[in-house]
Chain A
């Protein structure tokens, strides 16, 4: 292990700054909720400062790439015999990438929020939560052992809960927050069980020790390691909204749009991908689990894309798109292309945050317009938009960049990262045909992605405007504080692909080489397939072709001109309705799980077992028997002294008799 550079010792500051921001803004929310300048200064300032420190730290990593992670131990957290948990952070190449993504995107979104949330009465509370979120996210990516990571893991879930339910006065929002938290908790259960198993088998929970010991302890493909990784992956499905625990993410759009951009697109939901990449040794040693990860990822990628086809809510489309893109990331890490997964994670953070923030600008201006005229229309419904590029030219252009990146149009970032994943999946195909199926699922998903993204752009920005006659004059471009971050993110969406260009292009696979010290252990067990240059070129062309077909198809099939506003739109039928209602999965969960459990708790457990059987029959039954005996006894007491005397004398005589006998 090489010497820790002095710059890395500043890591604690990256984590502590957002926490300090939370504390200060939390205090502001109670004592000076209207001091918006100060709140913005603190809220944004800590993030910018954290980003700056992160740059310093990452430069140190770049200057002297560590062979093994640098561990910074701060204090002993849970010392209990052989369980010696420290509160420790670790810096290595993987956490460096995550550091840049998290602090960078967060800083942009914080700046954007200054404009977006400017008029909200809960401004201070909003920034406090947002800062707290960043704090937990950083703990998540920097934690040096599973429990510390779990602190961040659940902490971001908490902030997600608080921010989804930020406008808590609406029951829908509060419900959505609660749903997100509980769904995440189901995943966390898996995480917990995985930690128990890991501790049981390896006797440690520190990343370094566990991963170092894993090859000696576990047998490749053994039951234990499979169980551990599947349990970990259950945690990932909760946090990263994969089948079957994905339903919370679309509902989570109830939160403010920057929150959706930060938490539900760029950072928190990618934690699962990060976890798989971090624990790559474990997953690589369990081929079945890896296949499950890849399969679930591919399936989710396609499945979520089909739902996105028919949604009308602009944020829901982007949300399902996020679910779908997360599926690609899992496909990547599932086939052993850990660097590709992280690559897509990074590019996705840029273009999806961009999409969300741009959508936020659209929603805000529509919202203002409807507010100004007093009409109650849905500001998020595509059917109420149309032709917006005339009113919001900047936003439209920037959103097109994000959309194209998402579709995977060369040479934007999304093209390279998505193709990278698909290519590597294809490369595994010669091992098992299953991977060709995964690749096919992913490819179809990509086609659908191109379709729904084009649909979104066409309906929102092109064709005639359907917002309303009087509202039209209130539509205007967002202020610079909101468009500025969009520009930065758009640059990222365009250029981020450069960090990991395919092998056939110059500067090839820089990120993969950068992550080599972290992923090489996994690479020992899950050997990536190799593709010839010709195949690689073919796949690149195919990807570009798919994107083009999807876009052109959408452009031809959809007719924004004949679309009616939401209020006048006819009801959907058949398969469209099924898609619109998201395959009724929420309803199925509700009917099969939630309601029966509530019914069981109320009627059977509480009212029958608790109140009736235990309390009524057993406990009070005993009391009733005692009372009955007492009642019978009391009837014997006539209160007649004479009777008592007779009995008393009789008793005396009997006693005397007994004495005489002896």
Chain B
């Protein structure tokens, strides 16, 4: 029975991901932290799948697919931004300013 420890690890990893997002200003590292959070969530799914049936694993499969898609598009955006602004520092990205 590894459910409790696995979920705990998942929680810690997720929080680390969040902290990373908050801590860093480099868009690409923030991006990696998001991936980290996704993995933390995957861990929770897999751990629970052991208790509740294989559907959890299927979800993980979907998460991975979406993550892959997201990575592709996200990185393309990063590229475009870098080309446009010559920086990835999110403090300089304030196009959303009202």
Residues of A within 8 A of B (CB): 633-642, 644-646, 649
Residue of A nearest to B18 (CB): A649
Report whether B98 and A634 are in contact in the complex, using a CB–CB cutoff of 8 Å. Answer: yes
What sequence of 0s and 1s flags, for each residue 8-24 of chain B, a beta carbon within 8 Å of any chain A beta carbon?
Answer: 00000000001001100
Asked if A642 and B91 sit within 8 Å, CB to CB, the answer is yes
How far, in Å, is A628 (CB) from chain B's closest CB?
Answer: 14
Q: Is B52 an interface residue (CB 8 A)?
A: no
Neighbouring B residues of A649 by C-beta, 8 Å: 18, 21-22
Determine if B97 and A639 form an interchain contact, defined as CB atoms under 8 angstroms apart.
yes
B80 CB → nearest A CB, Å: 16
Taking the nearest CB of chain A, how far is it from the CB of B69, in angstroms? 21
Give the number of residues in B that approach A within 8 Å (Cβ atoms).
12
The answer to whether A639 touches B25, judged by C-beta atoms less than 8 angstroms apart, is no
Task: State the 10 A-B residue pairs at the shortest beta-carbon distance, nearest first.
Answer: A639-B97, A639-B94, A637-B98, A634-B98, A639-B96, A641-B90, A642-B90, A645-B21, A649-B18, A637-B97
User: Known: A633-B98, A634-B98, A637-B96. Contact between A642 and B25, CB under 8 A?
Assistant: yes
B2 within 8 A of A: no
Extra contacts besides A635-B98, A641-B96, A644-B96 (7): CB < 8 Å:
A636-B98, A637-B96, A640-B90, A641-B90, A645-B21, A646-B22, A649-B22
Chain A neighbourhood of B98, CB < 8 A: 633-637, 639
| With A633-B98, A635-B98, A636-B98 as contacts: A641 and B18 at CB distance below 8 Å | no
A610 to chain B, nearest CB (A): 35
Across the interface, which residues of B come within 8 angstroms of A641, CB to CB? 90, 93, 96
A642 contact set on B, CB distance < 8 A: 22, 25, 90-91
Give chain B residues whose Cβ lies under 8 Å from the Cβ of A646.
22
> B interface vs A, CB < 8 Å?
18, 21-22, 25, 90-91, 93-98
B22–A640 CB distance below 8 A: no
Query: Which chain B residue lies CB-closest to A638?
Result: B97
| Complexed CA–CA distance, A652 and B91 (Å) | 22
Closest to A646 in B: B22
A-B contact pairs, 12 of them (CB 8 A): A636-B98, A637-B97, A638-B97, A639-B96, A640-B90, A640-B91, A641-B93, A642-B22, A642-B25, A642-B90, A645-B21, A649-B21
- A496 and B66 alpha carbons, distance in the complex (Å): 111
Residues of B within 8 A of A639 (CB): 93-98
CB neighbours of B94 from chain A (8 A): 638-640
Q: How far is the CB of A648 from chain B (nearest CB, A)?
A: 9
- What's the Cα separation between A307 and B65 when bound, in Å? 105
Q: What residues on A are CB-neighbors of B96 within 8 Å?
A: 637, 639, 641, 644
B95 cross-chain contacts in A, Cβ below 8 A? 639
Q: Chain A residues near B18 (CB, 8 Å)?
A: 649
**CB-based nearest B residue for A631:** B98
Bound-state CA distance A635–B21 (Å) is 24
Taking the closest CB of chain B, its distance from the CB of A626, in whole angstroms, is 15
Q: How many whole Å from B51's CB to the nearest CB in chain A?
A: 21
What is the bound-complex CA distance between A635 and B90, given in angstroms? 19
Q: What's the nearest-Cβ distance from chain B to residue A633, in Å?
A: 7
A639–B18 alpha-carbon span in the complex (Å): 20
A640: chain B residues at CB < 8 Å are 90-91, 94
Residue of B nearest to A653 (CB): B18
Asked whether A645 and B91 contact (CB < 8 A) given A635-B98, A637-B98, the answer is no
Residue of chain A at shortest CB distance from B93: A641
